[in-house]
Amino acid sequence: MQWILNIIIQKRNLLLFLFLLGIGIVFSSYRSSYHQSKLQRFGIIISGGIFKSINNSKSYLSLTESNQSLLAENSTLHQELLQYKQAENLISESTNPELNNYLVRSATVVKNSYAKARNIIIIDKGTSDGILKDMSVVGPNGIIGIIKQTSAHFSSVISILYQDFSINAKIQGKGAFGSLSWEGYDPTRMVLSDVSIINTIAVGDTIETGGMSAYFPKGIPIGTIIDLETPTSGGYYNIEVALLNNLTDLKHVYIIENKKRSEFIDLQKKSEDGTR
């Protein structure tokens, strides 16, 4: 115990400096959005490096399981590729020009939170890999989130398990649109709201992205309806959705770049300004 006190006494000036520096950084982050942004970026770099090392160790220990998962996913992708090539012989490329509007990149998850009210994921790709803020992120079975902030080699992702974050969604094959959000409890469940009872829907229906935003392409799977309530007073359904992706066990994700996003945002802004 005495040697600890001796060290504290010997290093008291350094410890006092570090303490005051920490207080200064905290106050700066609260009072200045510029400093807050810089601190968040620095946090991404530090936490990204640390959790990448941890993730690499875990990946090595579970190498067999990871390889099996990747092999299964690759098999599915190869099958879809064969189906696409067969379809390519039947239809011209011009019938679906939207295929050329998106660029897809892969990344590895190095940190994943799912038990908080507002969950953030960190991936091992950043600006040096062409990743930019507001790009959409998907997994093998559906959507994951939106790029929030980037450094050179890492990016943070706002998970769909994030309160106050909603996604435009629709019921597959029925044209019924709504807003998908997370209530902050079960990481495998979300709620679809604003779907009018004039639409005929049922338990088991598939929920997918609606395509009415610049984030996610239209038609990406999200989940299936597992509970459906019709209010006695009319209005809108109460819909519970089971997610297709297991967001508690993410290893690999895909970042989607919408090449026409800036054009969409500019037009949307001009339209909003014109109505004022």
**Is the pLDDT confidence value at 238 over 50?**
yes
| Residue 203 · residue 225 · CB < 8 Å | yes
pLDDT, average across residues 251-256: 86
**Is the pLDDT confidence value at 183 over 70?**
yes
Residues 6+ apart with CB under 8 A from 125: 105, 107, 131, 153, 154, 155, 255
The pTM of the full predicted model, rounded to 2 decimals, is 0.66
Least confident range from 94-108, 126-140, 208-222: namely 94-108
Residue 175 vs residue 209, higher pLDDT:
209
Distances (CA, A) of 220 to 24, 47, 56, 206: 45, 30, 30, 10
Cβ neighbour number for residue 208 with a 10 Å cutoff: 20
Residue 124 forms part of a structural domain:
no
Domain that holds residue 230: 166-243
Residue 229 vs residue 56, higher pLDDT:
229
Query: What pLDDT does 83 receive?
Result: 44
* Domains in the chain, number: 1
Query: What pLDDT does 160 receive?
Result: 95
Query: What pLDDT does 31 receive?
Result: 57
Query: What pLDDT does 140 receive?
Result: 80
pLDDT, average across residues 182-197: 92
Query: What pLDDT does 91 receive?
Result: 38
Using one digit for the tens of pLDDT, what is the confidence trace for 18-35? Answer: 766 666 665 565 555 655
Among residues of the chain, what percentage have pLDDT more than 90? 34
Residue 180 forms part of a structural domain:
yes
Residue 248 vs residue 65, higher pLDDT:
248
Q: What whole-number distance in Å separates Cα of residue 2 and Cα of residue 151?
A: 44
Residue 199 forms part of a structural domain:
yes
Residue 184 forms part of a structural domain:
yes
Q: Could you tell me whether strands 176-181 and 118-123 are parallel, antiparallel, or unpaired per DSSP bridges?
A: unpaired
Query: What pLDDT does 64 receive?
Result: 53
Cβ neighbour number for residue 124 with a 10 Å cutoff: 19
pLDDT interval class at 161 (50, 70, 90): very high
Query: What pLDDT does 96 receive?
Result: 40
Q: What whole-number distance in Å separates Cα of residue 106 and Cα of residue 111?
A: 16
**Is the pLDDT confidence value at 5 over 60?**
yes
Using one digit for the tens of pLDDT, what is the confidence trace for 53-108? Answer: 766 666 555 555 555 566 456 434 533 543 453 344 333 333 344 445 778 888 88
Residue 38 forms part of a structural domain:
no
Residue 227 forms part of a structural domain:
yes
Query: What pLDDT does 208 receive?
Result: 92
Residue 110 forms part of a structural domain:
no
Closest C-alpha to 257, from 103, 99, 130: 103
Task: Identify the top-confidence range among 3-7, 54-58, 152-156.
Answer: 152-156
Query: What pLDDT does 171 receive?
Result: 93
pLDDT interval class at 239 (50, 70, 90): very high
**Is the pLDDT confidence value at 173 over 50?**
yes
pLDDT, average across residues 227-241: 86
Write the CATH number for 234.
2.40.10.350
Name the β-bridge partners of 240.
191, 227
Residue 2 forms part of a structural domain:
no
